[in-house]
Chain A
Amino acid sequence: MAEILSFSILYSTIRVATPLLLAALGGLLSERSGVINIALEGLMLAGAFTSAVVTHYAGNPWIGLLAGIGSGVFIAAIHAVACIQFDSNQVVTGTAINILMLGIPTLLSGALFETTGSTPQIPRANLIPNAPAVIAFALVPVIWYVLYRTPFGLRLRAAGENPEAADTAGVSVAAIRYTGVLLSGALAAIGGAYLSIGQSSLFTRNMTAGRGFIALAALIFGKWRPVQTMLACLLFGFAEAAAIQMQGVIPHVRVEYIQIIPYVLTMVVLAGFIGAARAPRALGRPYEKE
């Protein structure tokens, strides 16, 4: 049991928390602007798949990453247009995107590689080093600063709390919300790319395995604030890292019971310890003038 608190588990916690953090910070920008982003899972999958495919062809992970970001922004744009332009139900649109992103990678990889299971293996030399981990954690203070110390952040928060007030103050609520949602697509896609061309070397079907939802849970548990969200991601990351370490360490316990730990923890935390989390007041509410 001593290994559980070893240096390696710290390292592995950070590794596991990185994609969560990227997606959660993306979700934060979208939700603080007032648009629910339940599509984080789908956006991560888009990023993971596209970057794996492009890296395979281009032989360069950075080009792959850029392509992944592009795909995340593109899919997020669909969400944004539906939610902001057409006042759709944001949860339904997000769910549709998640379902779509379960199917499209399978379809495309079937067409491209004649196998629907996964994309081809990428050589180790063509993978992204652990840089995203550092970048992700460096983003926390950056996003904090943007949110609380720049005009854009003020407008973003106002759009999510009281869009009418923002509008009458001469702020374009639509422009702000588009920006928030598109940025969430870019960040979640980086999180996804880190899974496929960072931690592993190929894309497999549904490889995010609910991480987008855990990121969303971390965002809520973190009360839509950057630093608390990071801590929540680390908590969930630790749970998963510990589960990985415990496999095989503890005898006579089926692996499945250990693997469910992070998911159970997510539910328990959301149900029991969330306290008086207050969502942005206009979250999920399309803004239309009277």
Chain B
Amino acid sequence: MLELRNITKRFGNVLANDRVNIVVRPGSIHAIVGENGAGKSTAMRIAYGFYRADSGEILVDGKPQPIHTPHDAIALGIGMVHQHFMLVDTMTVAENIVLGAEPGTLISLDIRGAGKRIRSLSEEFHLAIDPGAVIENLSVGQQQRVELLKALYRQARVLILDEPTAVLTPQEVDEFFQILRRMREQGKTVIIITHKLDEVLAISDEVTVMRDGRVLGHRKTAETTAAELARLMVGREVLLRVQKKPAVPGRVILSVRRLSMKGRLNGISFVIRAGEILGIAGVEGNGQTELIEALAGLVGESELSGSIDFDGREISRLSARQRKELGIAHVPEDRQRRGLLLDASVAENSILGVHYREPAVTGRSGIMLDDASIRARAQRVIEGFDVRPANSELPARALSGGNQQKLIIGREFELPPKLLLVSQPTRGVDIGAIEFIHRKLVALRDSGCAVLLVSAELEEVTAIADRLMVIYAGRIVGEVDPTLATNEEIGLMMAGGSRTSDED
């Protein structure tokens, strides 16, 4: 159906694709897996005409085809849904779908006719959507349907989906996979780019693994395992399950009592001891963000009530900087917005938060940044946390998501912290880096630091945390032992069902 033959593509001096060969059979669901930066998206964007390959050819139905623009690809029946949706927020569903392939005449756009066709398509593929709805009022899941319809409307026979599940909740993922299977039944070919191995195993018929711009192997999904795919992706054995010893909790580091924030947090109380990881599970938007920010000192004190004792001292009136000086480190959930200055160098980013004092600032004058010691610190972070490429002069923007995250975590570890507040540490991070970050968090715990871990990935909190609390609608609805509780049990609490009714 679609074949990439010896595709090579360079960006500057980075070899993004190196003689890539991929054969996609018609009517199959074909997964392309690899870590961030492995060249999966580049290869597929070449197939879609968004980039031009430096050499190599693309075959459609066995014939070599010049695909120079998305227009060419669309004409050949290739559609692509990008990781970041390509939708015009202010326009309607129908307008977005017909854009570039408008029905009617040059002087008259037949939006009503388009609406009719969209409705019949959405019935055929069970993609319920109102053609007249405006994009910005739709949920992410609905927007994804619009993207699928956009490709189907253009009579795509091959759909390329770039990280389609990254933005979906677990329920939406199930629904989405149903849609993909239905498309396969209708004779469509689906290519899905991902780095989530459980999804590869759940949905695909065949899988191609890429690393460092090269194809490392093709497998029939039925004949492979997650461990084998992970080894191909990362290039070494990967522990998919974190190894850790039982925690040895010490003295109480953080004690939160009846912490409330109007409409967001409702009487939250808990303690964390030195040498333990306290996990917080919950559906996003139930107060996790506010809780972490309240503890880090990023919420105005007038908005909060209750007390926060850190290491025997009431800190709820202290600023974020003062808290940092006491040893509270913070890895924010949105690394690009709150964690880094994307255009500043890795070295500069490695001193954020301590940029005003030694060692970033030279001792005597107290006003000049000390380049040598900043570089030394950056080097420690780069080496200690395997930040790649290992160049402290690059802007943070140039790093992949996983490496940005390692940079932030490395910086916060340098504080050094007595308490680490860490939110979504592995969101959008590839599995090699996930394993690494998990090991580092456990090691930090073993060194006697207290860790508060918030994550939307249930797998993550149950694997890492020593104790697990569930948050719902701004209140803690219960605490479980992560080694004993089942996912169903925790899931029920995440949906608001309390496990122990006598608890308050």
Q: Measuring CB to CB, which residues of chain A are less than 8 angstroms from any residue of chain B?
A: 149-155, 157-158, 161-162, 164-171, 278, 281, 289
- Taking a contact as CB atoms under 8 Å apart, the answer to whether B109 and A169 are in contact is no
- Taking a contact as CB atoms under 8 Å apart, the answer to whether B98 and A150 are in contact is no
Q: Measuring CB to CB, which residues of chain B are less than 8 angstroms from any residue of chain A?
A: 48, 50-51, 69-71, 74, 80, 82, 86-91, 95-96, 98-102, 104, 106-109, 150
- Taking a contact as CB atoms under 8 Å apart, the answer to whether A150 and B107 are in contact is yes
Contact of B82 (CB < 8 Å), options: A152, A166, A168 = A168
- Taking a contact as CB atoms under 8 Å apart, the answer to whether A165 and B109 are in contact is no
Q: Interface of chain A, helix or strand or loop or mixed?
A: helix
C-alpha gap A233/B188 in the complex (Å): 53
C-alpha gap A186/B74 in the complex (Å): 35
For A160, give the chain B residue with the smallest CB separation. Answer: B88
- Taking a contact as CB atoms under 8 Å apart, the answer to whether B109 and A154 are in contact is yes
**CB-CB < 8 A to B99: which residues of A?**
154-155, 158, 165-166, 169, 171
C-alpha gap A161/B92 in the complex (Å): 13
For A146, give the chain B residue with the smallest CB separation. Answer: B107
**CB-CB < 8 A to B95: which residues of A?**
154
Question: Within the complex, what minimum Cβ distance (angstroms) separates B397 from chain A?
Answer: 12
Contact of B71 (CB < 8 Å), options: A153, A161, A170 = A170
- Taking a contact as CB atoms under 8 Å apart, the answer to whether B88 and A162 are in contact is yes
Contact of A151 (CB < 8 Å), options: B50, B80, B106 = B106
- Taking a contact as CB atoms under 8 Å apart, the answer to whether A161 and B91 are in contact is yes
Contact of A168 (CB < 8 Å), options: B86, B106, B108 = B86
Which one of B74, B82, B89, B100 has the greatest number of beta carbons of chain A within 10 Å? Answer: B100
C-alpha gap A152/B104 in the complex (Å): 12
- Taking a contact as CB atoms under 8 Å apart, the answer to whether A169 and B89 are in contact is no
Contact of B108 (CB < 8 Å), options: A150, A157, A170, A289 = A150
C-alpha gap A149/B484 in the complex (Å): 61
Question: Within the complex, what minimum Cβ distance (angstroms) separates B105 from chain A?
Answer: 8
- The contact sample of 25 A-B pairs, CB cut-off 8 A, is A149-B108, A150-B106, A151-B102, A151-B109, A152-B106, A153-B109, A154-B95, A154-B99, A154-B109, A158-B99, A161-B88, A161-B91, A162-B88, A162-B89, A165-B87, A168-B80, A169-B70, A169-B100, A169-B101, A169-B150, A170-B70, A170-B74, A171-B99, A171-B100, A289-B51
C-alpha gap A261/B107 in the complex (Å): 42
Contact of B88 (CB < 8 Å), options: A151, A153, A158, A170 = A158
C-alpha gap A281/B90 in the complex (Å): 9
**CB-CB < 8 A to A281: which residues of B?**
89-90
**CB-CB < 8 A to B98: which residues of A?**
154
Contact of B89 (CB < 8 Å), options: A152, A161, A289 = A161
**CB-CB < 8 A to A150: which residues of B?**
106-109
C-alpha gap A116/B104 in the complex (Å): 53
**CB-CB < 8 A to A168: which residues of B?**
48, 50, 70, 80, 82, 86
